[in-house]
């Protein structure tokens, strides 16, 4: 049974070096060569057509048919000149990942290559295989994909890929991109209105995202020899290696050469696709790494992240490697997140979260800063829900990942500024006063990006000129958390503006009105601020005292979406209707159930078909040995003791697996999806996963290494 494991290990030692061809050190020479974006449109379209397209993109307007035809024709010529044979509408269904359906340019009837504007603008994929959370059964069976011209087309392999949204014929959105685009529009509108209190020149505000992607790399043969990694994306069994993370030498160590070659290779592919990858380094756990791009507008950044994950998977194949994006693939080691660095930037080029030395600009900065803290305070449960997935549950709240409790870290300097502003709450400001000085906000230091003032345990941290939403999971699509974040900030900004206007109407001076509202927000949102160690037990207790939620599992965390407050929020800003929110929550519960089901099955199969027989075979060897010793009159107590221990663990495993199967039968009869998800969480995952795993991992230590069927952590994780 251990044969597969040893064959895989043998393959590992025979891996040839993969040649990576970087023909020029100047990335600028080929960056974006496979992108058909604004610049390529400018170069290939008639000036009048180009003007129409670029204006429509900027103002989120519809593109007329003649213009679409011209774009399609130019894009086709560009793509074919680069060897393309097909085009596809590329979209992001709620299952996670990306989906596409390829059509050839070649039209056999006409005998030529064709690509019409209507095909660019709209396509009909087979929607029946994508989840719709009941929308489809009650409403319209079919859906269509529609071109998102704000994200550039790209050539992927031999296919021209067109970023699209996925919508049902009755108008409900069926993907993650459509609500994101709406949330980005909402925050643009709300933020621009607030900006105009300070600067009338500001016409648009763009949200930006830089997502740091963490991942594990393992050899593909070893990966294939672990059915749990293949089926569930994480190892359900496996004892910690003797040398785990304790040494913490991986973080600063050099990147293993196989991985280094892989990194260089996928970076080249990413650059060609216009993905601005920039940083590469080791992460904390063995075989864990990170790639971070330069930030971009949220929608494009997220498309790029989705595409990057795909590129990494494909390039890894060439290197006989396998990439694991799962949030917690290996127990006892750090998990993988996707830190979402986020800010708002005006069309005049001002980062609204960057403090400056100008007092006036700082009031605008403080407005956005404090309003964001307040938004997180008001909607912390929704933000928590936005990152809830079955996989992320293993990571959040584990002792080396952001806690499931939402809080905001501001850093000592900004905390001091806010405290000061609050303390001076009663300072009366008269017309003609130097308000900034009186309030102690005349000199907000330009915050130096000081690495010591970083709190890596916070799920949502201010990092000098941006917020970093750290709780997002490594395999997740950022669109969902970004939709939530941008919508709640839009909402809070709307409230802010209304409150300020109310004071102004009462005769208050504008600047004073702004400060008054901010002071009120500081007081009201104090509970959400936490500067200490988010991993500590003290924080769990403190948070409970403050009344903050600590929702450790997805089935319960998702309930926040169905609160009236959340549903109204999304509807008010045109992001999602009540029906859409309900459908999406249903889909996410269903997906939770499926994933727990898969893991339970994998666990059962591996335990009963691989682990138990191996343990029994080994036990038989020991029994022979014990009998032999007894025959010779030698003390066999130690061997007998081991035999008993093994029996004990086998018993635990067999009972656990049997009960788990019975429980699943019972739970599957529960018709309510929410209740079924909770039952899968409480009565399957929480009740059995740990105890079965613990028994298997104990057996791994007892059974002869030669017999053990599963590739061990130490073999998986120490790639050279
Ligand atoms: P860390 O110290 O958190 O690892 P990095 O510099 O590696 O920080 O990554 C930070 C990420 O934040 C990068 O993707 C970077 O482009 C992004 N970023 C920087 N400034 C902004 C901003 N104003 N808005 C959004 N993202 C930003
Ligand atoms: Mg970071």
Nearest-10 crossing angle of helices 298-318, 479-505: 170
Q: Is the pLDDT of residue 140 over 90?
A: no
Atom of ligand 1 minimally distant from the CA of 295: 16
Separation of alpha carbons 458 and 339, rounded Å: 11
Separation of alpha carbons 548 and 570, rounded Å: 23
pLDDT score of 139: 45
**Ligand 1, from 205, 210, 296: best to mutate by most atoms within 8 Å of Cβ?**
210
Cβ neighbourhood burial of 364 (10 Å; 0-12, 13-18, 19+): buried
Least-confidence region, from 278-287, 445-454, 661-670: 445-454
Reduce the secondary structure of 180-227 to three states and give it as a string: HHHHHHHHHHHHHHHHCCCCCCCCCEEEEEEEEEEEEEEEHHHHHCCH
* CA of 275, nearest ligand number: 1
- C-beta 341 within 6 A of ligand 1: yes
- The C-alpha torsion from 591 through 593 and 599 to 604, rounded to 10°, is -150
Q: Is the pLDDT of residue 187 over 80?
A: yes
pLDDT score of 141: 45
What is the pLDDT averaged over residues 487-511? 96
* Cβ-contact 67, 52 below 8 angstroms: yes
Separation of alpha carbons 458 and 469, rounded Å: 9
Tokens of 23: 């023909």
pLDDT score of 124: 81
pLDDT score of 245: 63
**If we measure between CA atoms, which residue out of 261, 386, 284 comes closest to residue 332?**
284
- C-beta 381 within 6 A of ligand 1: no
DSSP secondary structure of 110-146: TTEE---HHHHHEE---GGGS--TTHHHHS-S-EEEE
Separation of alpha carbons 492 and 504, rounded Å: 18
Separation of alpha carbons 127 and 117, rounded Å: 22
Separation of alpha carbons 289 and 256, rounded Å: 11
* CA of 211, nearest ligand number: 1
Of all protein residues, the one whose alpha carbon is nearest to atom 17 of ligand 1 is 210
- C-beta 187 within 6 A of ligand 1: no
What is the pLDDT averaged over residues 356-384? 92
Residue 481 φ/ψ, nearest 5 degrees: -60, -35
Separation of alpha carbons 235 and 45, rounded Å: 51
The separation between CA 17 and the C-alpha centre of its own chain, rounded to angstroms, equals: 32
Q: Is the pLDDT of residue 568 over 60?
A: yes
pLDDT score of 379: 97
β-strand 338-346 against 408-409: which pairing, if any? unpaired
Q: Produce one character per residue of 147-178: b if its CB has 16 or more CB atoms within 10 Å, e if not.
A: bbbbbbbbbbeebbbbbbbbbbeeebbbbbbb
Of all protein residues, the one whose alpha carbon is nearest to atom 1 of ligand 1 is 212
DSSP letter, residue 278: E
What is the pLDDT averaged over residues 564-591? 96
Share of the chain above pLDDT 90, in %: 74
What's the distance, Cα to Cα, between the start and end of the chain in Å?
Answer: 26
Atom of ligand 1 minimally distant from the CA of 343: 24
Q: Is the pLDDT of residue 386 over 70?
A: yes
Cβ neighbourhood burial of 192 (10 Å; 0-12, 13-18, 19+): middle
The separation between CA 241 and the C-alpha centre of its own chain, rounded to angstroms, equals: 28
Bigger pLDDT: 319 vs 169 = 319
At residue 426 the predicted structure's pLDDT band, cuts being 50, 70 and 90, is: low
Share of the chain above pLDDT 70, in %: 92
Cα(452) to ligand 2 centroid in Å equals: 13
pLDDT score of 442: 66
Q: Is the pLDDT of residue 677 over 80?
A: yes
**If we measure between CA atoms, which residue out of 476, 673, 586, 677 comes closest to residue 132?**
586
Tokens of 547: 């009344």
Separation of alpha carbons 475 and 456, rounded Å: 20
Triad 540, 541, 546: Cα angle to 5°: 95
The structure's pTM equals 0.95
pLDDT tens across 215-251, in order? 999 999 999 999 999 999 999 999 987 666 655 556 5
What is the pLDDT averaged over residues 458-475? 94
Structural domains present in the chain: 46-174 (3.10.20.70), 184-576 (3.30.590.10), 587-718 (1.20.120.1560)
Residue 619 φ/ψ, nearest 5 degrees: -60, -40
Q: Produce one character per residue of 373-391: b if its CB has 16 or more CB atoms within 10 Å, e if not.
A: bbbbbbbbbbbbbbbbbbb
83: left (phi over 0), alpha (psi -120 to 50) or beta: left
Q: Is the pLDDT of residue 138 over 50?
A: no
β-strand 112-113 against 321-324: which pairing, if any? unpaired
Task: State the maximum Cα–Cα separation within the chain, in Å, rounded to a whole number.
Answer: 103
């Amino acid at each position: 049974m251990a044969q597969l494991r040893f064959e895989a290990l043998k393959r590992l030692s025979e891996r040839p070096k993969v040649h990576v061809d970087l023909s020029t050190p100047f990335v600028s020479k080929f960056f974006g060569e496979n992108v058909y974006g604004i610049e390529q449109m400018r170069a290939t379209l008639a000036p009048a057509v180009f003007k129409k397209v670029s204006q429509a993109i900027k103002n989120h307007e519809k593109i007329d048919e003649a213009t679409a035809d011209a774009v399609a024709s130019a894009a086709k010529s560009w793509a074919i000149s680069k060897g393309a044979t097909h085009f596809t509408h590329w979209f992001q269904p709620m299952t996670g990942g990306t989906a596409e359906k390829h059509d050839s340019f070649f039209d056999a009837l006409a005998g030529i290559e064709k690509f019409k504007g209507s095909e660019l603008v709209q396509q009909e994929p087979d929607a029946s295989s994508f989840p719709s959370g009941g929308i489809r059964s009650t409403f319209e069976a079919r859906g269509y994909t529609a071109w998102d011209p704000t994200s550039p087309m790209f050539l992927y392999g031999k296919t021209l890929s067109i970023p699209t949204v996925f919508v049902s014929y009755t108008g409900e959105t069926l993907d993650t991109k459509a609500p994101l685009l709406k949330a980005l529009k909402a925050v643009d509108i709300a933020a621009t209105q607030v900006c105009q209190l300070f600067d009338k020149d500001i016409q648009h505000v763009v949200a930006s995202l830089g997502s740091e992607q963490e991942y594990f790399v393992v050899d593909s043969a070893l990966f294939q020899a672990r059915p749990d990694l293949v089926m569930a994306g994480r190892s359900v069994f496996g004892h910690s290696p003797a040398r785990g993370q304790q040494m913490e030498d991986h973080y600063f160590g050099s990147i293993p050469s196989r991985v280094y070659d892989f990194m260089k290779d996928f970076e080249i592919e990413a650059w060609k696709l216009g993905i601005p990858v920039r940083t590469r380094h080791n992460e904390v756990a063995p075989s864990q790494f990170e790639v971070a791009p330069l930030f971009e507008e949220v929608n494009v950044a997220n498309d790029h992240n989705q595409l990057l994950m795909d590129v990494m998977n494909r390039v890894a194949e060439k290197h006989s490697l396998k990439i694991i994006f799962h949030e917690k693939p290996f127990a006892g080691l750090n998990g993988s997140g996707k830190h979402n660095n986020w800010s708002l930037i005006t069309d005049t080029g001002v980062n609204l979260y960057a403090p400056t030395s100008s007092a006036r600009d700082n009031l605008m900065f403080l407005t956005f800063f404090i309003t964001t803290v307040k938004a997180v305070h008001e909607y912390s449960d929704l933000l928590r829900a936005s990152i809830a997935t079955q996989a992320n549950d293993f990571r959040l709240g584990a002792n080396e990942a952001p806690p499931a409790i939402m809080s905001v870290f501001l850093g000592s300097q900004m905390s001091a500024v806010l405290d000061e502003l609050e303390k001076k709450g009663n300072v009366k400001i008269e017309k003609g006063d130097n308000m900034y000085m009186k309030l102690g906000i005349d000199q907000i230091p330009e915050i130096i990006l000081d690495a010591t003032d970083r709190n890596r345990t916070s799920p949502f941290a201010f990092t000098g000129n941006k917020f970093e939403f750290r709780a997002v999971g490594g395999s997740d699509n950022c669109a969902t958390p970004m939709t939530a974040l941008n919508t709640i900030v839009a909402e809070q900004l709307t409230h802010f503006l209304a409150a300020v206007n109310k004071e102004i109407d009462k005769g208050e001076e504008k600047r004073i009105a702004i400060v008054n509202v901010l002071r009120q927000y500081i007081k009201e949102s104090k509970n959400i601020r936490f500067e200490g160690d988010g991993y500590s037990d003290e924080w769990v207790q403190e948070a409970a005292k403050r009344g903050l939620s600590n929702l450790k599992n997805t089935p319960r965390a998702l309930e926040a979406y169905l609160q009236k407050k959340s549903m109204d929020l999304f509807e008010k800003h045109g992001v999602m209707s009540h029906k859409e929110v309900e459908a999406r929550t249903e889909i996410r519960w269903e997906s939770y159930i499926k994933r727990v089901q898969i893991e339970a099955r994998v666990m059962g199969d591996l335990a009963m078909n691989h682990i138990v027989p191996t343990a029994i075979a080994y036990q038989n060897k020991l029994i022979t040995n014990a009998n032999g010793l007894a025959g010779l009159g030698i003390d066999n107590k130690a061997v007998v003791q081991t035999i008993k221990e093994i029996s004990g663990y086998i018993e635990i495993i067999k009972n656990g697996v049997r009960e788990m199967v019975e429980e699943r039968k019972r739970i599957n009869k529960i018709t309510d999806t929410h209740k079924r998800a909770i039952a899968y969480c409480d009565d399957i995952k929480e009740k059995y996963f740990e105890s079965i795993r613990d028994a298997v991992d104990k057996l791994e230590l007892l059974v002869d290494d030669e017999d053990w069927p599963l590739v061990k952590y130490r073999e998986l994780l120490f790639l050279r």
